[in-house]
Amino acid sequence: MAVFLHGLTNEREISAALRFLSRHDIPYFAQGGAHGYSPTLAVIQHAVMIKMERFDEIRFNDDNSVTVGGAVLFGDLMSALYAAGRELTVGSCVCVGSTGAMLGGGHGRLQGKHGLTSDALRSVRMVLWNGTVVEASESKNPDLFWGMRGAGHNFGVVIESTYETFPQENDGMHYNADMVFTSDSLEGVINVINSLIPDQDPALALDLLFFIDPSTMSPVIFLNLVYAGTQAEGQRYADLFASTNPGNSTTGPRISRLSVDASVATFGDLNNVAAGGAITAACATGSRQNAYTSTLRTLDVSTMRQLFASFATFVQENPLAINSLILFEIFGQEGIDAKPNDYSAYPNRGFANVLTLLQMTYTNDAVADAADTWARQWRDTLTLPDVSGYPQQHVYENYAHGDEPLEAIYGYDEWRRERLTSLKRKFDPKDNFNGYHAIPLDGMW
Ligand SMILES: Cc1cc2nc3c(=O)[nH]c(=O)nc-3n(C[C@H](O)[C@H](O)[C@H](O)COP(=O)(O)OP(=O)(O)OC[C@H]3O[C@@H](n4cnc5c(N)ncnc54)[C@H](O)[C@@H]3O)c2cc1C
């Protein structure tokens, strides 16, 4: 149970609140976009939820950087960027908090061009547990600045963040194609996707979804393709997924495309248009989400076939989970890998070709246990080195379920553990920010 603290409007009030709550040992946490779904948040009980909703300002600076309040949502940020003729890597869902996402790294369709959202962070203004207001950047508190980009849920409440932005290309217009395929096209579609992953075009972003059509209870293969460039360039990629000639062995397994819905969208509207708005539909409240994740080098064809069949059977046998889906985000890696491995606390450079989400969605808890078991088992399968293509488990912090080893979330290098532990001891010595994949103060992980 939580008590909500609404209406705080400035850093002085946040500072006073944190000072008071910490002094009286009252648990608390900040809420930005309200889209954090990690079960680890459950450790925060009988807490004060500090609603950051009034920290919603977006302002552009003379050097084209943009400063955004701690509760600004990606949808509002995209509209503002588009209007200003600028761009930045943002998440795929309009209602996700830009700060909450950035603190874990921040994946998005433009990452091939510009890296993670957090890679563009230039400074952050925040309040620590004892009410102290600090700024973190390359020149001020650089150690904290390093940790805020990838492990940032651990250290304080962000008042505002300032990002470098980039001139928008192609007048901010993006090609979008939503495609549906027959079930027997799975191998063909995956073969094409796998062929695109090495050195993926930085402007190309693919979202492969499996879901169940409620009218037929049959599984659907849905591919969203976004190209941050001209229609002709995007169309060239969409054509790779056009129906192929049965029996033509030179083209590999057959693809039979049932539909293609192609359009051009502004950057400001892209998330509402892409995937027919399916990802944005996750903004709807009222249902429970239980997600597991895995990171893959490529999509293992035979495992994908088994997963697709198993998912269909699971939902057919458990129709209460009808709104569940499986999502594979296949975004460019060039911008992420351009930064050195120790650039920030984000640990997955070189290990994040495909982000998988096994997203169980339901309103009736009667299906909760079955959904949890099914998704966890498949997460475990997808994590096997032979399947994932990576020798170790790598997990995006913001998608983590929370039962993964912390090394999988924050990295396997010993120096990362030491650096994060020392930051935790220095900036959150009483472990007040412990609700989101907390770094233990004792360094035991
Ligand atoms: C439908 C959906 C789509 C998503 N798409 C993407 C995506 O495309 N890319 C991506 O990278 N991630 C994505 N995510 C994951 C998302 O980044 C995380 O769930 C993120 O933590 C959500 O942040 P929030 O502010 O919306 O949530 P909240 O529940 O408000 O916060 C989540 C965590 O962030 C902390 N937090 C939020 N704001 C602040 C602040 N101002 N100061 C300090 N701490 C703060 C909270 O205390 C909490 O620990 C998606 C999630 C969902 C549900």
227 C-alpha to ligand 1 centroid (Å): 25
411 C-alpha to ligand 1 centroid (Å): 20
Residue environment code for 340-372, b if the CB has 16+ CB neighbours within 10 A, otherwise e: eeebbbbbbbebbbbbbbbbbbbeeeebeebbe
Residues 6+ apart with CB under 8 A from 401: 38, 39, 291, 292, 293, 376, 379
User: Quick check: CB of 75 below 6 Å from ligand 1?
Assistant: no
Burial class (CB in 10 A: 0-12, 13-18, 19+), 109: buried
Q: Vertex 87, ends 108 and 97: CA angle to 5°? A: 50
User: Quick check: CB of 282 below 6 Å from ligand 1?
Assistant: yes
Burial class (CB in 10 A: 0-12, 13-18, 19+), 236: middle
Beta pairing partners, 162 = 67, 123
pLDDT digits 0-9 by tens, 258-317:
999 999 999 999 999 999 887 777 777 778 889 999 999 999 999 999 999 999 999 999
Residue environment code for 386-403, b if the CB has 16+ CB neighbours within 10 A, otherwise e: ebbbbeebbbbbbbbbbe
DSSP 74-85: HHHHHHHHHHHT
99 C-alpha to ligand 1 centroid (Å): 7
C-alpha span between 286 and 40 (Å, rounded):
20
Q: Which ligand 1 atom sits nearest the alpha carbon of residue 29? A: 47
State residue 246's pLDDT score: 62
Nearest CA to ligand 1 atom 32: 36
Residues 6+ apart with CB under 8 A from 403: 39, 376
Long-range contacts: 384-387, Cβ < 8 Å, 24+?
A: 386/300, 387/296, 387/300, 387/303
Domains, in order of start, for the chain = 54-168 (3.30.465.10), 172-406 (3.40.462.20)
User: Quick check: CB of 107 below 6 Å from ligand 1?
Assistant: yes
What is the chain's alpha carbon radius of gyration, rounded to the nearest angstrom?
A: 21
* Sites in the chain below the pLDDT cut of 70: 1, 37, 40-41, 43, 245-251
pLDDT digits 0-9 by tens, 413-425:
999 999 999 999 9
Q: Complex ipTM, two decimals?
A: 0.99
401 C-alpha to ligand 1 centroid (Å): 13
User: Quick check: CB of 60 below 6 Å from ligand 1?
Assistant: no
C-alpha span between 413 and 394 (Å, rounded):
12
101 C-alpha to ligand 1 centroid (Å): 4
C-alpha span between 128 and 391 (Å, rounded):
37
How far from the centroid of its chain's Cα atoms is residue 105's Cα?
8
> Phi, psi (5° rounding) for residue 219?
-75, 145
Q: What is the value of pTM for the model shown?
A: 0.96
State residue 247's pLDDT score: 54
For 149, 219, 260, 354, the CA distances from 404, given in Å and listed in that order, are: 20, 29, 38, 18
How far from the centroid of its chain's Cα atoms is residue 308's Cα?
22
User: Quick check: CB of 36 below 6 Å from ligand 1?
Assistant: yes
State residue 440's pLDDT score: 97
291 C-alpha to ligand 1 centroid (Å): 14
Burial class (CB in 10 A: 0-12, 13-18, 19+), 198: exposed
Name the residue of 8, 9, 31, 90 to mutate for ligand 1: max ligand atoms within 8 A of Cβ. Answer: 31
C-alpha span between 21 and 23 (Å, rounded):
5
Under 8 Å between Cβ of 336 and 343: no
337 C-alpha to ligand 1 centroid (Å): 23
C-alpha span between 179 and 274 (Å, rounded):
11
